[in-house]
Amino acid sequence: MSGPTAKTSTPYRVITDLLREHARHHPERTALICGDERLTYAQLDELADRVAASLQRDGIAPGDAIAICSQTSLRYVAVFLGALRAAVVVVPLPLGAASNTMLSVLADAQARLLFADTDGIGVLAGQKSSIRCVAMQDTGPGWAYASWLLPVLASPRAVELPPEAPFNIIYSSGTTGEPKGIVQSHGMRWAHVDRGSKFGYGPDTVALLATPLYSNTTLVVLFPTLAFGGTIVLSPKFDGAHFLALAERHRMTHTMLVPVQYQRIMALPQFASRDLSSTQMKFCTSAPFDASLKADVLRRWPGGLIEFYGLTEGGGTCILVAHDYPSKLHTVGRPAPGHDVRLIDDAGRELPPGATGEIVGHSPGMMTGYHRRPERTREAEWFDQHGRRFIRTGDIGRFDEDGFLVLLDRKKDMLISGGFNVYPSDLEGVLRTHAEVAETAVVGVPSRRWGESPVAFVVLRPGSTLTEADLLAWTNSHVGKIQRLERLYVVDGLPRSAIGKVLKRELRQRHITSGLEPT
């Protein structure tokens, strides 16, 4: 189903050129805040120049890659922007990755240089790697950042940055398998900036970001805010109470949070006493956003609420303007303007309205492909009868009568039990209606009798004395026969990635290693 046809409203621009313009016209305006540190646009632009010139001094050419593995900081953003100014491709890497994963990703990306803090460099300790390192905290192996950086007034050579030039490579979180390098172009990033005026971005924007800088979730707000000349407030580690304090202190206008962060913030007793009246727009993406939680955010938190549904790979994005459509909170909205979102069956045939199938999408913002993996890129693509390229999401959904997309589940999470499709999200929805359930995740596990059976992992609310047996019986009395849970575990917490996605592979493995025989 297509969204309203729309061309990009403004011609393509290079984001670092806009940074330069803000530095010239408003040099003293604050660009970045992190703790007690601040950078004006003039200072940030100068740092980007010094980073770009330093990379060029080291022989790192346009199209080469550098990696960053570091805690959120002002230096992190400056290195990212400086690399872009030199037409160098940025590979932001997560902290906490295993050393073998880090080495594999660095090799796959063919990174020429690694910018890392103590934790990031520590991952490589004792490993055989020839990559040169720059120590972001000025201590550790390799160059100290302060001595690596060319002095003030260093000027890089000008480079060409057409829309198809690679901007960054973001490695998938690995929640569904081996991480793959998603190549995003300057044109794709510009598409994110171009839609910014529709969401109120401008020079008065104060965007508070509490998700990691290696995540696309964060970058889709970081770059539009800077491109429009606003202010970014960075919170290196998320804590709900600290977030609220920062939002009040800096008069936050915009933020991007993942659902579990909204859940934790809204549960804080001090939420009601904080002044959040400056909030204009709140965004959410990256994981399923429960309708009841959306309703609570709308009811108690000033400003609009927008949910994005889409992939880091790009393709079709759906947008739910929750404050305009409070009766559609169970959906992820309609296709964005200029985005074409359709449903296909397992054979790749397009499905008619009302049917349930895999979601595929086409838009101005689409990845170039998976880095050095043409076969994986082909697996992620679907072409319509006119040869138009779409990105497959791996998600299952259907459109309602008003054209809003109802997201059912991940295709890989769906299980087939006794020949019937069972969607874990349906069972999770039932479990969440129990007053003593705080969080839950359902996975499919092997079953001799049924092929697969659903198993639930549940976090109870504080003070609950509910037993696994009682909750299992309650759940199975509220679902259909083919949906009944095989087992239910009460756990202290669900394993999550840094941006809040539940790591269901870990839960399946936890059940498999429990020693229980398959039914």
Distance CA 428, CA 439 (A): 9
Cβ atoms within 10 Å, residue 380: 21
Q: Cα-flanking dihedrals φ and ψ of residue 205, to 5°?
A: -65, 135
Mean pLDDT of 446-471: 94
Record the pTM.
0.88
CB-CB neighbours of 462 under 10 Å: 6
Q: Which of 343, 332, 286 is nearest to 2 (CA)?
A: 343
Q: Are the C-beta atoms of residues 424 and 454 closer than 8 Å to each other?
A: yes
Whether 7 shows a pLDDT value over 50: the answer reads no
With residue 512 as reference, give the H or E element that holds it.
helix 504-512
pLDDT at residue 265 tops 60? yes
Q: At what angle do helices 41-57 and 74-85 cross, to 10 degrees?
A: 60
Average pLDDT over residues 176-193: 88
Provide the percentage of residues in the chain whose pLDDT is more than 90: 82
User: Quick one: pLDDT at residue 159?
Assistant: 98
Architecture of domain 8-186: 3-Layer(aba) Sandwich (3.40)
- Record the tokens describing residue 193, joined without a space: 């900036």
- The 3-class secondary structure across 367-430, one letter per residue, is CCEECCCHHHHHHHEEECCCCCEEEEEEEEEEECCCCCEEEEEECCCCEEECCEEECHHHHHHH
pLDDT-based confidence at residue 410 (cuts at 50, 70, 90) = confident
pLDDT band at 3 (very low <50, low <70, confident <90, very high): very low
More confident residue, 97 or 198: 198
- pLDDT-derived band at 176 (thresholds 50, 70, 90) equals very low
* 3-class SS of residue 263: helix
pLDDT score at 2? 58
Fold type of domain 416-512: GMP Synthetase; Chain A, domain 3 (3.30.300)
Mean pLDDT over 466-490 rounds to 95
Per-residue pLDDT band at 450 (split at 50, 70, 90):
confident
Structure confidence at residue 501 (pLDDT): 87
Mean pLDDT check: name the lowest of 229-243, 332-346, 456-470, 503-517: 503-517
Q: Cα separation of 229 and 207, whole Å?
A: 11
Q: What is the pLDDT of residue 515?
A: 66
Q: Are the beta carbons of 171 and 93 closer than 8 angstroms?
A: yes
| Cβ contacts of 419 within 8 Å, gap of 6 or more | 451
Under 8 Å between Cβ of 452 and 445 = yes
pLDDT tens sequence across 294-311: 999 999 999 999 999 999
State pLDDT tens for residues 206-216: 999 999 999 99
Mean pLDDT (the chain) is 93
With a pLDDT cut of 70, the percent of the chain lying above it is: 96
| Annotated domain spans of the chain | 8-186, 416-512
pLDDT beyond 80 at 8: no
Asked if the model's pLDDT at residue 158 lies above 80, the reply is yes
Read off the DSSP letter of residue 446.
E
| CB burial of residue 230 (10 Å; 0-12, 13-18, 19+) | buried
Quick one: pLDDT at residue 197? 87
Taking a C-beta distance cutoff of 8 angstroms, is the pair 286, 258 a contact?
A: yes
